[in-house]
Structure 1
């Protein structure tokens, strides 16, 4: 039980944003959750492996041009349009990884875990393979997580999953995505 307490603490260390997110959820084993990072990456579908790499390359490629002043504005705009094209293609490829029979909806997500609304109760400590589809970021995350909390609702359960196997760059992407959404929500609230 101490391990679950630690996982719940890890889950709560990160900011969670209330935002519906399409996810795929499948049962996993303890062996899946305790494999090495190299084994985990090998088991990861290829589209998920390249997704975060493409996102990282894009942000690094545009960084040098931002500080060069107005004379490069047209070039920066062109490169941003090219990046947008790539994002659309990557988004399409990642959507092919969405399996309808495993589809659920996350109600909150962040860098430490995700809360998924389910119709059935989940045993604390149970492991799951989760695919998170971040449409706004044209990215998707593949991870293994552990159920650390199960809250009964009138029409189901909110199950909190703490990540147990996730690549560092994917965790950073989740943190950035949650901050982008929070910024968008703040702007929306200020204009209303």
Structure 2
């Protein structure tokens, strides 16, 4: 599989980064997929179902099914609340950080303690839009002093294609949001 580089966007989101012992060998891709916690798999499926929901909404809107759309939106909101609760159970405060930037190939965050370059880590990323969570493995590619903290950059080693797509969508969404805001600021 050829390595691809993706652009990164500056955005804060919650990430759990669990450093692993140097003796730890990353699992095979099949074992990795089998160890992904169920809430992460469900979150992934939900975000893909949201795409279908968006298509159905636009078709219904064209046929003026206002009440059906409201019902779908209500049901979707209930499912997203349940999903958010399930995912919050996976967030470990001991490993919690906020990203500085993220993309589909790497992310960076600030930490009180440095991690050595090459350190393997288990990652849980909690996306806002699309509402999802991603479980993966990676390694530290950069660790530098940043004021009182350390800026750590992690590159993904094990990441499902489905989750890579979610990261691309999340990055594009944040970039569009930033561009819209810039345009609004210029118009003022």
TM-score for both structures, normalised by structure 2 = 0.86
Question: For residues 180 and 78 of structure 2, what CA distance do their matches in structure 1 show?
Answer: 26
Preserved CA contact (<8 Å) 1:41 1:49 = no
Which runs of 5 or more structure 2 residues have no equivalent in the other structure? none
Preserved CA contact (<8 Å) 1:66 1:76 = no
2:180 is the counterpart of 1:187: yes
Residue of structure 2 in register with 1:98 after alignment = 91
Greater helix share, structure number: 1
Residue of structure 2 in register with 1:126 after alignment = 119
- Cα displacement (A) at 1:175: 1.0
Summarize the alignment of residues 37-186 of structure 1 with structure 2, pairs less than 5 Å apart: 37-67=29-59, 69-186=62-179
2:10 is the counterpart of 1:24: no
Preserved CA contact (<8 Å) 2:129 2:173 = no
Q: Which stretches of structure 1, 4 residues or longer, exceed 4 Å deviation after superposition?
A: 29-32
Question: For residues 176 and 63 of structure 2, what CA distance do their matches in structure 1 show?
Answer: 26
Preserved CA contact (<8 Å) 2:138 2:156 = yes
Residues 27-83 of structure 1, C-alpha deviations (whole Å, 9 max, x = no match):
2356553x2222012222211121101111231244245246233454234323321
- Cα displacement (A) at 1:163: 0.4
User: May I ask how many residue pairs the two structures share in their alignment?
Assistant: 182
- Cα displacement (A) at 1:23: 1.2
Residue of structure 2 in register with 1:15 after alignment = 7
CA distance change for structure 1 residues 32 and 53 in 2, over 3 Å: closer, same or farther?
farther
Residues 105-141 of structure 1, C-alpha deviations (whole Å, 9 max, x = no match):
2111111111011122221111100111113432111
Preserved CA contact (<8 Å) 1:62 1:76 = no
Q: 3-state DSSP class of the match of 2:115?
A: coil
TM-score for both structures, normalised by structure 1 = 0.84
Which runs of 5 or more structure 1 residues have no equivalent in the other structure? 1-5
Preserved CA contact (<8 Å) 1:122 1:150 = yes
Preserved CA contact (<8 Å) 1:127 1:147 = yes
Q: 3-state DSSP class of the match of 2:12?
A: strand
- Cα displacement (A) at 1:160: 0.9
